[in-house]
């Protein structure tokens, strides 16, 4: 036993009290002091060796045996949570893109006509198109219109497609309202009253307003003489396509412009050279040709009869002028009809009536401008197909008239 150490006994246990500089030297402690029991106590107080787990690794091990720095497992969980959130955001963004795209670019279905009031605001426009099934969300479409800064549109009927989407709807709005046209056919030989009646049958138009404008002098033809305000004979008979919303004045202007175009094309202004008549007088002759001729081959001959009788200072005695004077069409004229007091009664007056009695077509205008050469002074209906026979002398005319009466084609 070395100096500085002492042994004490307490019951059956033996302990060594170390003192001095050698108290930490474990090699100085005799084997019999430490013994097997002391070594077992030291082993029991040491931390256990951690076991490796395939799922959790070392995270469940006691603090001294965990891998890495303190809190490393918490960072892993945070990364997993962040990745999950990012994935959800991406999925939500993809869904939003598809949803917006479906609104902007709809599939489009059957055609639908929608009436939009004039100067409609975004709310009205969005509500109207949503109700018609063109777009699917009134609130969203209104804000889309706000975002695009769309100006108020013109009123009218627009053509869309059901479920066509916002972009297509804006394209259709840019195209403007659908132009609804009405077909208007004016036959050759119609007078102004008959033309006005035809116009008055169109929606929103009036025969009275049309006739009032046509006799007011507001609209004039280049072939209308000064002092004449009626457009009788200067409204060209044709087929017109009238846009919805056109006024009587606009329609009349179109018809007069068409007449001037046709007259220019046949060089009506040259009538002084070809017939010795003014262009307006030539229109008067053409109007009588239009009412009298029933077959094309008679036009030029009837025109020649008129010019020959004018040159001979004979009354024209044209039945169509009586009908115009009386304002009615008759299959056969009576003697009493021939006595009507009117400047249009060519059975009483000499020369031409004061104006046209109908609207002549191009063929009748050309026949008046360039009549068939001949010496005829008379003509009479000779065939049920409407053709006439022509005569130069009164005797020839009497013979033709007898034939016509025998067939019941003219009155006695």
Number of domains the chain is built from:
3
Instruction: Tell me what the mean pLDDT of segment 154-164 comes to.
Output: 84
How many whole angstroms separate alpha carbon 122 and alpha carbon 120? 7
pTM, two decimals, is: 0.65
Specify if 14 maps to a domain.
Answer: no
Do 289 and 383 lie in one domain? The reply is yes
CA distance 333 to 320: 10
| 305 & 410 share domain | yes
Give me the phi and psi of 381, to 5 degrees please. -65, 125
Same domain, residue pair 251 and 305: no
C-alpha distances out from residue 88 to 82, 85, 97, 265, Å:
10, 5, 14, 77
With respect to residue 346, please indicate whether it lies within any of the assigned structural domains: yes
Residues 314 and 410 in one domain: yes
| Residue where one domain finishes, among candidates 205, 240, 265 | 265
Q: In the predicted model, is pLDDT for residue 322 greater than 80?
A: yes
Average pLDDT, the chain: 82
Mean pLDDT of 55-59: 49
If asked whether residues 356 and 299 sit together in one domain, one would say yes
pLDDT digits (tens, 9 = 90+) for 366-383: 999 999 999 999 999 999
Highest mean pLDDT among 43-57, 219-233, 239-253: 219-233
Write the pLDDT tens digit of every residue in 27-52.
444 454 454 544 544 544 555 555 54
Check whether residue 168 and residue 244 sit in a common domain. Answer: no
Give the range of the structural domain holding residue 164, as residue numbers without chain letter: 104-174
Q: What is the largest CA-CA distance in the chain?
A: 188
Q: Are residues 212 and 108 in the same domain?
A: no
313, pLDDT greater than 90: yes
Mean pLDDT to the nearest integer, 174-196: 91
Q: Rounded mean pLDDT of 68-92?
A: 69
Among the listed residues 192, 386, 393, 383, the one whose alpha carbon sits nearest the alpha carbon of residue 299? 386
207 & 296 share domain: no
pLDDT of residue 273: 94
Amino acid 5: pLDDT? 43
Residue 46 falls inside a structural domain: no
Pairing of strands 378-381, 388-391: antiparallel
The answer to the question of residue 90 being in a domain is: no
Helices assigned H by DSSP within 105-232 = 122-131, 138-148, 166-174, 192-200, 207-214
């Amino acid at each position: 036993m070395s100096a500085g150490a002492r042994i004490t006994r307490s019951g059956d246990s033996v302990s060594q009290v170390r003192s001095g500089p050698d108290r930490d030297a474990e090699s100085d402690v005799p084997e019999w002091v430490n013994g097997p029991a002391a070594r077992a106590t030291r082993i029991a107080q040491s931390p256990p060796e951690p076991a490796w787990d395939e799922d959790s690794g070392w995270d469940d091990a006691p603090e001294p045996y965990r891998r890495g720095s303190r809190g490393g497992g918490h960072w892993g969980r945070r990364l997993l949570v962040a990745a999950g959130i990012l994935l959800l955001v991406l999925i939500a963004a993809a869904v939003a893109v598809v949803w917006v795209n479906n609104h902007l670019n709809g599939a489009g279905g059957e055609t639908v006509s929608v009436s939009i009031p004039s100067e409609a605001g975004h709310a009205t426009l969005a509500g109207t198109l949503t109700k018609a099934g063109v777009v699917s969300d009134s609130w969203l479409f209104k804000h889309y219109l706000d975002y695009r800064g769309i100006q108020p549109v013109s009123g009218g009927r627009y053509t869309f497609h059901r479920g066509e989407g916002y972009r297509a709807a804006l394209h259709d709005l840019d195209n403007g309202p659908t132009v609804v046209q009405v077909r208007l056919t004016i036959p050759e030989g119609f007078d102004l009253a008959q033309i006005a009646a035809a116009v008055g049958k169109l929606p929103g138009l009036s025969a009275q307003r049309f006739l009032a404008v046509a006799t007011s002098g507001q609209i004039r033809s280049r072939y209308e003489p000064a002092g004449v305000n009626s457009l009788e004979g200067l409204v060209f008979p044709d087929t017109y396509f009238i846009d919805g919303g056109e006024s009587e004045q606009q329609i009349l202007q179109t018809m007069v412009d068409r007449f001037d175009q046709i007259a220019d094309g046949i060089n009506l202004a040259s009538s002084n050279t070809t017939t010795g008549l003014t262009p307006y007088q030539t229109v008067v002759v053409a109007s009588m040709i239009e009412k009298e001729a029933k077959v094309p081959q008679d036009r030029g001959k009837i025109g020649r009869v008129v010019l020959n009788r004018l040159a001979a200072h004979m009354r024209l005695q044209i039945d169509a002028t009586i009908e115009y004077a009386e304002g009615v069409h008759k299959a056969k004229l009576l003697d009493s009809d021939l006595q009507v007091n009117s400047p249009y009664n060519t059975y009483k007056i000499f020369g031409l009536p004061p104006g046209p009695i109908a609207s002549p077509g191009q063929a009748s205008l050309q026949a008046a401008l360039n009549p068939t050469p001949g010496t005829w002074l008379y003509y009479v209906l000779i065939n049920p197909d409407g053709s006439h026979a022509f005569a130069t002398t009164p005797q020839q005319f009497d013979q033709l008239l007898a034939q016509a009466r025998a067939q019941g084609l003219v009155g006695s």
